[in-house]
Amino acid sequence: MTAALLDTLPYARFLGLQTQVNGDEITVTMPFDDRLIGNPLLPALHGGSTAALLEMTAMAQVALTYPGLRLPRPINVTVAYLRSGKPVDVYARARINRAGRRVAYVIAEAWQENHAQPIASLTAHFLLDEATSG
Amino acid sequence: MTESFLTTLLPQLASGAAHTHALGFAYEGLEGDRVRMRVPYRDDLVGDPETGVLAGGLVTTLLDHAGGLAVWVALDAFRPIATLDLRVDYMRAAQPGRDLLAEARCYRLTRNLAFVRAWAFEDDPADPVAAAQSAYMVSAEGDSRTGANLKPRRAKDAA
């Protein structure tokens, strides 16, 4: 359950998410696609697609850092929208700020052409479960 | 409330754009000041293939979209809005195979901001899958540029 995790999740495939693993750090790309558009006038990506990218990136980072656990389940997520998402690729990375026995607290950021100008940031708690046998 | 806005423009806004079309979102109408949306269950919207539960990110998108509609209901008009932030609590897993409904209500509207609560459920709003609390920026009429609401533009900026 590492690099290929998101490839196994239907919704991550629906969004076209691509995972790159660099050492112990994951970068997830959401390639631009017309069906990610939420506002055709600007045009801008739907905030929900960016939120889902951030949440999936956080989940994949937890799964990579703590192998052997069941798929981390979100308890809550908070997304701050910083800039309008342009109709180009989006990248995301997550950092685990604290992981206890049952809960991980994760921060994630999404950006487009300029890493220093994130379009959205996420903070989230995930529930960690031991992998069920079988 | 203007009958024409709620009966003609709101359903069009509810159907959204490419993303919400691709997700199959459907407008279910108004319940008082609450707006209701549905996302029909689909296998490609699942977050965890072991359980068949719909993805958290999908629920977030549904609550964000329903919340935006609630702002327009409160405005009783269309004005550009942008989600400022959105917090979602996931209370329980959605039931596999079931459509998900969302209701949203704008409970406070100021000149620049709208405060919204929204919740997702299968049958009973009192037994929610998830609940959201969110804030939306509401564009000032006539000018949507950064800071347009703050003060008159200086003469040298006006070109």
Q: What is the predicted pLDDT for the residue at B6?
A: 84
Tell me the whole-structure pTM to 2 decimals.
0.91
Does residue A10 surpass a pLDDT of 70? yes
Q: What is the predicted pLDDT for the residue at B148?
A: 53
Q: What is the predicted pLDDT for the residue at B85?
A: 96
Q: Which residues pair with B137 in a beta bridge?
A: B82, B113
Chain A contact set for B21 (CB, 8 A):
35
ipTM exceeding cut-off 0.85 for this assembly: yes
Please give the Cα distance from B114 to B135 (Å, whole number).
6
Q: What is the pLDDT along chain B (159 residues), one digit of tens a residue?
A: 567 888 888 888 888 899 999 999 999 999 999 999 999 999 999 999 999 999 999 999 999 999 999 999 999 999 999 999 999 999 999 999 999 999 999 999 999 999 999 999 999 999 999 999 999 999 987 555 555 555 555 555 544
Predicted confidence (pLDDT) per residue in B84-112, tens digit: 999 999 999 999 999 999 999 999 999 99
Asked if residue B118 is part of any domain, the answer here is yes
Report percent pLDDT > 70 for chain A.
Answer: 95
Domain span including residue B26: 3-138
- Across the range A105-130, mean pLDDT stands at 95
Chain A contact set for B96 (CB, 8 A):
none
Q: What is the predicted pLDDT for the residue at A133?
A: 43
Total domains in chain B come to: 1
Please give the Cα distance from B137 to B135 (Å, whole number).
7
Contact B25, B81 (CB under 8 A): no
CB proximity list for B63: less than 8 A, separation 6 or greater? B86, B88, B102, B104, B118, B119, B120, B130, B132, B134
Please give the Cα distance from A84 to A95 (Å, whole number).
23
Q: What is the predicted pLDDT for the residue at B140?
A: 80
Asked if residue B12 is part of any domain, the answer here is yes
Kindly state which CATH superfamily the domain A5-127 is placed in.
Answer: Hotdog Thioesterase (3.10.129.10)
Asked if residue B151 is part of any domain, the answer here is no
Please give the Cα distance from B78 to B123 (Å, whole number).
30
Q: What is the predicted pLDDT for the residue at B159?
A: 42
Q: What is the predicted pLDDT for the residue at A70?
A: 85
The minimum CA-CA distance between A48 and chain B, rounded to whole Å, is 4
Tell me how crowded residue B93 is: count the other CB atoms within 10 A of its CB: 16
Q: What is the predicted pLDDT for the residue at A69?
A: 83
The minimum CA-CA distance between B34 and chain A, rounded to whole Å, is 20
Please give the Cα distance from B123 to B51 (Å, whole number).
20
| Nearest in space to A106 (alpha carbons), one of A134, A47, A49, A66 | A66
Q: Distances from the Cα of B14 to the Cαs of B55, B78, B132, in angstroms?
A: 21, 12, 18
> What residue in A sits closest to B13 (Cα-Cα)?
A39
Asked if residue B36 is part of any domain, the answer here is yes
Q: What is the predicted pLDDT for the residue at B130?
A: 98
Chain B contact set for A30 (CB, 8 A):
none
Contact A69, A101 (CB under 8 A): no
Q: What is the predicted pLDDT for the residue at B158?
A: 45
B77 touching chain A per CB within 8 A: no
Question: Average model confidence (pLDDT) for chain B?
Answer: 89
CATH number reported for the structural domain that contains residue B28 in this entry: 3.10.129.10
